Copies of this chain bind each other. A is one copy, B any other.
Amino acid sequence: MNRPQEFSRYRHDIEVKLRSILDRYRLPLYDMIRYHLGWIDESGVVFSGNPGKMLRPSLCLFACEALCGDCLKALPAGAALELIHNYSLIHDDIQDNDEERRHRPAVWKIWGRAQAINAGTATKAIAGLTINEYKSLGLDPQKILDMHLLLEETVLTLLEGQFLDISFEGRTDISMDEYLSMIQKKTGALIAASLKAGAMAASDRPETWEQFYRLGMTMGAAFQIRDDILGIWGSAEVVGKPTGSDIMKKKKSLPIVHLFLNASAGEREFISGIYDKHELKNPEITAVIGLLEKKGSRRYAENLVRQYSAECLDLILGLPVSDEYKQELAGITNNLSKRMS
C-alpha cells in the first residue's frame, strides 16, 4: 500500500535508526535480516528494496508527537516494534510456505528454513535490546521495564494469534468470534502496542497509554479485514498478487469464514470439496468468488471495516491531544480502511 501521507515525515528518522541498530551486528547471521529489510541482496551487495509500510513505528512516533510535541522520544520503541513486525514476517513465511515477500524470495527460500528460524528469532532479540537504549537516554527505569513487558506480552499475543490462524487451516467451522479474536491477537496487538509505546515515551499517565492501546486494537481489526478484502478482490497490479490469491492459498480470511457460516448444506459441501483439493484452478477460484458475492460475504466484510472505523473515530475524539492531531489520526484511519493495497 501507499503509506498514509501523514507518515512521510517520520520515514527518514525511522530508516536511519533501524540502520544504525543493525550496524552493530556484522556476522552473516544478521545479513539475513538486512536482506529481509531490503537493504542488501542475497550476496550482500547493497540493494534498494521496498522497506515495507513502516506502519507500526510511524504510529508509535505519531502518538508520541501528538502527546508531547517530540516524536524522537519514541524512536527506540518504534524501531523495536518494526523489528518485532519483521521477526513475525520472517517466521510467518516459513510457517505459511510463502516463497515471496515484497516481490523477492523470502529469507527461507534463500538460506533454508533452519537458518531463517534463526534470522527471525535474532530480529526479535535485537528488538528487546533496542528497548534497553532508553537506559542511556535517561528514561525512568520503571518505565523501560514496562516497555519490556509490553513488548514480550505483545509477542506472546502475536504467537497466540498465529497459533489460532494455523489451527484454522484444517477447519471449516470457525465462528466469527473465533476469527475476530484471532485477528485481534495476530494484527491488533502489535498496532495497539505501537500506539501505546509512543504514548509511554511521551506521557506518564497509564490511562492515556490504555486509550491509545484500545484505539490500536480497533484500528488493527479494520486494517486486517481490509487486508482480507484486498486478498480476494485487490487488483493484481496494486497488491502485487493475483486477485483471489488468498483463496488460492486457502486462507481462512474473514469473507471465507462468513461464507462457511452462511452457506447452505449443498454450498458448504461444494466449497469444502474445493478446499480439500491440493491445488486450486482459476475456474474454482472464480466459483468461490461468485459464492462470496452471492452470500454477501464481501458486503459483510466491508460493513465490518466501516463499523470498526467509526469506533476508531469515537476513540480518537476522546484522546487528550489537540484537534489538529485528532484530524490527522482520523485521516490515517480513513486511509488504512479504504486503502487499495
Binding site for B on A (CB under 8 A): 25, 27-29, 91, 94-96, 113-115, 117-118, 120-122, 124-126, 128-129, 131-132, 135, 141-142, 144-145, 148-149, 151-153, 155-156, 159-160, 162-163, 166-167
Contact = CB atoms under 8 A, between A and B. Distances in A.
A232 B27 CA distance: 31
A88 to B, nearest CB: 9
A118 to B, nearest CB: 5
Contact of A128 (B95, B113, B152, B162): B152
A118 B163 CA distance: 7
B166 A152 contact: no
A159 B122 contact: yes
Given A28-B167, A91-B121, A121-B159, 12 more contacts: A29-B160, A29-B163, A91-B117, A94-B113, A113-B113, A117-B120, A118-B162, A121-B155, A122-B156, A125-B152, A128-B128, A144-B145
Contact of A117 (B29, B94, B145): B94
Contact of A156 (B125, B142, B166, B167): B125
A163 to B, nearest CB: 4
A114 B141 contact: no
A108 to B, nearest CB: 11
Contacts of A115: 163, 166-167
Contacts of A162: 118
A159 B29 contact: yes
A101 to B, nearest CB: 16
A159 B118 contact: yes
A126 B149 CA distance: 10
A152 B129 contact: yes
11 contacts: A29-B160, A94-B114, A115-B166, A118-B166, A125-B152, A125-B155, A126-B156, A129-B152, A132-B145, A141-B141, A145-B145
Given A91-B117, A117-B95, A163-B29, A132 B148 contact: yes
A181 to B, nearest CB: 11
A156 B162 CA distance: 23
A171 to B, nearest CB: 13
A115 B121 CA distance: 15
A256 to B, nearest CB: 19
Contacts of A167: 28, 115
